[in-house]
Structure 1
Amino acid sequence: MRYVAAYLLAALGGNASPSASDIKKILDSVGIEADDAYLNKVIKELSGKDIEEVIAEGQSKLASVPTGGVAAAGGGGGAAADKGEVAAEKEEAKVEEEEESDDDMGFGLFD
């Protein structure tokens, strides 16, 4: 993922076709040593493609991924039980969200 992120940063910075050295420079700036095998694969897969089209295609694929929501059928509890479960999940998520102290949770973009 870090290689794709660095490639996108270079592309968003105006470099329509980032090279391996461009990506290495970005990764080096945050203290990451690039692995040439991964780097070359990312460049091979993305070279010559419009980044905005690749992102749009990826978003459409993500839209079809199930997110683990409450099932509409089964369970025997009916809609009232489902609403109660959803409310409980929202309350739990709200409590967890309030407990977080770091916005980045100790992780950087390139970790």
Structure 2
Amino acid sequence: MKYIAAYALLVLGGKESPAASDVEAVLKSVGIEPEKERIDTLIKNLEGKTLHELIAAGSTKLSTLSAGGAAGGAAAGAAATEAVEEKEEEAQEEEADVGVGDIFGGGDDDDY
């Protein structure tokens, strides 16, 4: 991810097609020791492509993936919330049954 981020920063900074040495320089500037093989693979895979087109294509793929997951996740989240609320209600009812006089050793409220 850091290699792609460095590449993206270079593109946003005005370099339309950054070289491996450019990516390496960005990574070194923030204290990361870059792996030459990873940078070479990145540059090779992005050769002839623009970052903006890749982001646009990836965004459409992500939107189709997250739509199904979000609906299922929302339903599961709602069920979990209901279960927690039910447990909280039960706990509150149990607490209400405890008499204050019992805490101090007496159960008779007339002694006060």
TM above 0.5: yes
Once the two structures are superposed, residues 21-68 of structure 1 have per-residue CA deviations (whole angstroms, 9 ceiling, x without a partner) of: 100110001000110111111111112212111001111111122245
Match of 2:74 in 1: 70
Supply the AA of the counterpart residue of 1:62: L
CA-CA distance at 1:84 after TM superposition = 7.6
Aligned length: 79
Supply the AA of the counterpart residue of 1:85: T
Match of 1:48 in 2: 48
Question: In the aligned structure 2, how far is the partner of 1:48 from the partner of 1:8?
Answer: 15
Question: In the aligned structure 2, how far is the partner of 1:83 from the partner of 1:37?
Answer: 47
Once the two structures are superposed, residues 55-103 of structure 1 have per-residue CA deviations (whole angstroms, 9 ceiling, x without a partner) of: 01111111122245234xxx9xxxxxx47838x7xxxxxxxxxxxxxxx
TM-score scaled by length of structure 2: 0.61
Aligned residues: CA RMSD? 2.5
Question: Identity, % of aligned pairs?
Answer: 44
Question: In the aligned structure 2, how far is the partner of 1:84 from the partner of 1:2?
Answer: 36
Question: In the aligned structure 2, how far is the partner of 1:35 from the partner of 1:83?
Answer: 46
Supply the AA of the counterpart residue of 1:9: L
Match of 1:85 in 2: 81
Supply the AA of the counterpart residue of 1:69: G
Q: Which has the higher contact order (CA 8 A, sep 6+)?
A: 1
Question: In the aligned structure 1, how far is the partner of 2:47 from the partner of 2:5?
Answer: 14
Radius of gyration: which is bigger? 2
Question: In the aligned structure 2, how far is the partner of 1:25 from the partner of 1:13?
Answer: 14
Question: In the aligned structure 1, how far is the partner of 2:56 from the partner of 2:30?
Answer: 28
CA-CA distance at 1:2 after TM superposition = 0.5
